[in-house]
Chain A
Amino acid sequence: MKKKEWIAMILAGGQGSRLTLLTKKIAKPAVYFGGKYRIIDFVLSNCSNSGIDTVGVLTQYQPLVLNSYIGIGSPWDLDRKKGGVTLLPPYVNERGGEWYKGTANAIYQNINFVDEYDPDYVVVLSGDHIYKMDYSMMLDYHKEKSAEATIAVIEVPWEETCRFGIMNTGPDGRIEEFDEKPRNARSNLASMGIYIFNWNVLKKYLVEDEADPESSNDFGKNIIPKMLNSGIRLFAYPFDGYWKDVGTIESLWEANMDLLKEDNRLNLFDPKWKIYSVNAIRPPHFAGATADIKCSMVGEGCIIHGEVRNSVLFPGVYIGKDTKVVDTVVMPKVMIGENVVVERAIIGLESVINNGCRIGDSTSGSITLVGEYEQMPQGTVYI
């Protein structure tokens, strides 16, 4: 196999249990986002747009939808003769087999895959974050600093530092200390879960980490602290842009609503950095004579006869007359009948909300979630 300068490994095996009903049958990276996409589209498109043509996707939890969605990778231009996208589920070998025990163990179990391409650098990415980033700039930075490992960091509000892995850096960007979810943080630079490693260095640490029975085989908890302790050149790459980990129903809803803001920093309309996805085969959306749509995003194939405010509609949604949909994320092929009010909600794939229902509450702080394939009988009130 021809040598590659760099390849990417995407960790996509997480359950995302805090997304409750939405991740019952699919892994978190396959969750819908932004009126068209699945979350993993962002990282795959970033790879493709950054010029990475070899990508391993590590799957574990409920991989069926994710596997068929990614396929041979052609929507992201990753169907290549050499390289391209490869799905890497756990497997058995002559000593038996095991699940991926942690993020580091997942890469460890696929050392053979990486070695096939004999890369100088390996980019380790998480499949469940929403952001646009040019990894080639990060690689330039990595080379410029003669780093052995580089971690992308983003400034987070000081009061939220306790939720993140925080990097304390020196003036040249070298990481001096790493605090996992600190109570009193000394910096507000949080790790984004985006790493570039020199492969020979990472490989050595993965093997050592695997031999340590005490380790939980995790990048943040084990590999990075071990590298720091042994004086590896670790640098922080500052990222300034939109980045969101949509781990909960609230943050998923919020990230969708962010797209509707005037000053939204995640520009989906940039022709130079398109986010690719599997496109729905549907005609343009139709707004009827009684439709009234403002401050919203609407996907193809929707048919709208009611009022839509501050909402995100995925392809193939139907909204009947005299219905009001406000501050809501409506996933593909949802049918909403007449005289319905939906406020501050997420409606899952192919659910049917019959006439006269009332879903959600605008005064409530929380988000009402209707799962996938739900049937709401006429006149249901669900808050």
Chain B
Amino acid sequence: MLDYMGIINLNEREDNIKGLTGHRPLAAVPIAGRYRMIDFALSNLVNAGVQNISIFTQNKYRSLLDHLGTGKAWDLDRKNDGLFIMNPMYDYYNLGIYRGDIENFKCHMDYINFSKQNNVIITPSNMICNVDYQEAIKHHNETGADITIIYKKADNCTVDFQYCSTLEMDEYGRIERIDINFGKENGCNVSMDMYIMKKSLFLDIVNSCVSTGYCDYFREAVYKYLHKLKIFGYGFEGYLACINSTYSYYKTSMQLLDMDISRELFFKNGLIYTKVKDEPPTKYKENARIINSLVANGCTIDGLVENSILFRSVKIKKGAVVKDSIIMQNCSIEEESRVVNAILDKSVRVTKGKQIIGNTDNPEVIEKKTVI
């Protein structure tokens, strides 16, 4: 059995994607028609054989808990190990002042200690990819690194992966410098914020951060240890998107309409699992016209849908037009209305004849349950 436990660290920036994260954490943002962001991180771990997975949340976790349930959808409803959810302990000793993810790890130290696995994989939820951790672990063992950080060599860093960490490595792959991508150069090595290391080292880092007080964030701690430990990079070759802004959410969603990307993301190293909703197949009616779109189950379509993503149970009525848009679960686009370049959160109703027009660089985000 794989001697690894998985930690999904939801200490993620949400300030550039506020429209979709007002009432949910980034990890629970719906994506790709029927998934939530966290499904990718969870499925990648499960597909690699990790059976003990904990999710370190921040606040606003109600919708996340609802989505995860007992972990059954990911085959994590286990007697031994399985899925654990670690919410911040606000009243423990910190008087409600949130001081970064290190503190959350510290509060749940017992769980990490008692887990029987000797190694950890730490991953965020905002890196959308289908990664084979088995390969990364193999590389980790071969290099004999203390910590391996998974990265992707990208060539579009002036536009994408804004504010992600970037890595500079020597010829052997040892990391020499960690920076932040402010979009100055095209080529960069984007850190996927995925770390592989011994559990004991992870605990040491957390403990020393807490006792010395010199770092609040795990990412910061790794940076400080750069020259004390052997920290290596493992290059991931596949498709990667980092969703940390409304723009990147929209852009990534539209990229999924490319079947080569979709096929890789949903099938390559294993399937992506999600909570099932038992919706019937989608029904196309007489006036339906559909072009280049992804459509989940349970929709009823009687209008025009082009270059768009429809989540489950969306209704597109006769004469309605939806173009270059993302329409989340239970939305209803009524007769003769138009939605262009927009992101409609769950259960939005666009009434007869109304229009929502955004632009490509700045899609219009409509809040959950809005009636237009």
Contacts and interface: CB of A to CB of B under 8 A. Distances in A.
B266 A283 contact: yes
A294 B280 contact: no
B290 A293 contact: yes
A269 B271 contact: no
The interface residues of chain A, by DSSP majority, are classed as loop
Interface residues of B, number: 35
A287 B292 contact: yes
Interface string A297-325: 11110010000100011100000000000
A281 B270 CA distance: 11
A1 interface: no
B280 A298 contact: no
Contacts of B284: 293-298, 308
A152 B72 CA distance: 37
Contacts of A279: 276, 278
Interface in A350-380: none
Given A288-B291, A289-B292, A292-B289, 19 more contacts: A34-B281, A35-B280, A275-B278, A275-B280, A277-B278, A279-B278, A282-B266, A283-B34, A283-B294, A284-B295, A284-B310, A285-B295, A287-B292, A289-B291, A296-B283, A296-B284, A298-B281, A298-B295, A303-B259
Contacts of B295: 284-287, 298
A274 interface: yes
Contacts of B309: 284
Interface stretch (B98-106, B110-118, B166-174, B296-304): B296-304
A294 B289 CA distance: 7
Contacts of A291: 290-292
Interface of A: 34-36, 74-75, 260, 268-269, 274-277, 279, 281-289, 291-300, 303, 308, 312-314
A143 B163 CA distance: 68
Most buried by B among A36, A268, A281: A281
Given A284-B33, A287-B290, A300 B278 contact: no
B32 to A, nearest CB: 6
B273 A269 contact: no
Contacts of B289: 292, 294
B370 interface: no
Given A274-B278, A285-B294, A294 B34 contact: no
A202 B289 CA distance: 55
A367 B262 CA distance: 35
B288 interface: yes
Interface of B: 32-34, 72, 257, 259, 262, 266, 271-273, 276, 278, 280-298, 300, 309-310
A263 B291 CA distance: 27
B310 A283 contact: no
22 contacts: A275-B278, A276-B278, A279-B276, A279-B278, A281-B272, A282-B266, A283-B294, A284-B32, A284-B294, A284-B296, A284-B309, A284-B310, A285-B282, A286-B262, A286-B293, A286-B294, A293-B288, A295-B285, A295-B288, A299-B282, A303-B259, A314-B281
A282 B271 CA distance: 8
A282 B281 CA distance: 12
A356 to B, nearest CB: 23
A260 B284 CA distance: 9
Contact of A36 (B273, B280, B293): B280
A299 B299 CA distance: 10
B282 A298 contact: yes
B296 to A, nearest CB: 4
Q: Nearest 5 A-B pairs (CB), nearest first?
A: A284-B33, A35-B281, A268-B280, A284-B296, A279-B276
Nearest to A279: B276
A298 B287 CA distance: 16
Nearest to B300: A269
B291 A294 contact: no
Given A289-B292, A296-B284, A298-B295, A283 B278 contact: no
B282 A294 contact: no
A312 B278 contact: no
